[in-house]
């Protein structure tokens, strides 16, 4: 016990955890990484990826550690969502959880490592009932993702470096959970002038192929100072 802690030796003690809502995009579908819990209480039930904050560790450091431990990735997009502290939210103890949502490219993560931890990618409509308040965390994360997508090009964190306009439209349809008009979407996204058209084509779906594009962060930064709203 350090000297400072002696000032609070009569204060109640609570556990602090981090829970990560990990979004990925694959085959035109927005997906979530969830896992089967290995410890009591509620061992074997479906859960978000999470863990306790360790001694000498910051909350954001803990979230990054949990993400890397499960996916093998570091330096990925991660944003703090909310603090969940209802008295009886965890049946095992009084646990306060700070939730983060993260965006990763599914093809980049370490799939064997995720499977080792019992983690699986599921589409949004496939998400089962999770432990504690984890379904509420997902609901809140989706709302934050949709709101954030209006002002920042976070969707590009989920796409490969080179993508087609069709892939980009499919992603935003998944984020907003609604169909977007193909022609209007193309007109709007190109008018923003934040993606660069490449000479390369994706010919996986047709001989003619579709042009590939790449996000231009420098153009985005320039437009951001002018009050760009990235609303599709």
Active-site positions? 116
* 3-state DSSP of the chain: CCCHHHHHCCCCCCEEEEEEEEEEEECCEEEEEEEECCCCCCCCCEECEEEECCCCCCHHHHHHHHHHHHHCCCCCEEEEEEEECCCCCCCCCCEEEEEEEEEECHHHCCHHHHHHCCEEEEEHHHCCCCCCCHHHHHHHHHHHHHHHHCCCCHHHHCCCCCECHHHHHHHHHHHHCCCCCHHHHHHHHHHHCCEEEEEEEECCCCCCCEEEEEECHHHHHHHHCCCCCCCC
């Amino acid at each position: 016990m350090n000297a400072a802690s002696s000032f609070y030796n009569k204060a109640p003690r609570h556990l602090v955890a981090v829970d990560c809502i990990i979004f990925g995009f694959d085959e035109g579908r927005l997906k979530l990484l969830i896992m089967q819990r290995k410890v009591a209480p509620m061992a074997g039930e479906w859960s978000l990826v999470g863990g306790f904050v360790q001694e000498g560790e910051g909350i954001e450091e803990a979230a990054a550690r949990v993400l890397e431990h499960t996916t093998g990735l570091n330096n990925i997009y991660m944003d703090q969502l909310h603090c969940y502290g209802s008295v009886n939210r965890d049946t095992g103890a009084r646990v306060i959880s700070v939730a983060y949502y993260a965006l990763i490219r599914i093809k980049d993560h370490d799939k064997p490592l995720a499977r080792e931890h019992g983690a699986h990618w599921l589409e949004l409509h496939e998400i089962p009932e999770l432990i504690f308040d984890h379904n509420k965390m997902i609901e809140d994360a989706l709302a934050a993702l949709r709101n954030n997508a209006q002002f920042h090009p976070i969707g590009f964190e989920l796409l490969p470096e080179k993508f087609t306009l069709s892939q980009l439209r499919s992603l935003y349809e998944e984020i907003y959970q609604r169909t977007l008009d193909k022609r209007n979407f193309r007109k709007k996204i190109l008018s923003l002038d934040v993606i660069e058209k490449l000479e390369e084509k994706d010919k996986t779906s047709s001989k003619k192929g579709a042009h590939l594009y790449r996000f231009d962060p420098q153009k985005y930064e320039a437009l951001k100072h002018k009050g760009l709203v990235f609303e599709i």
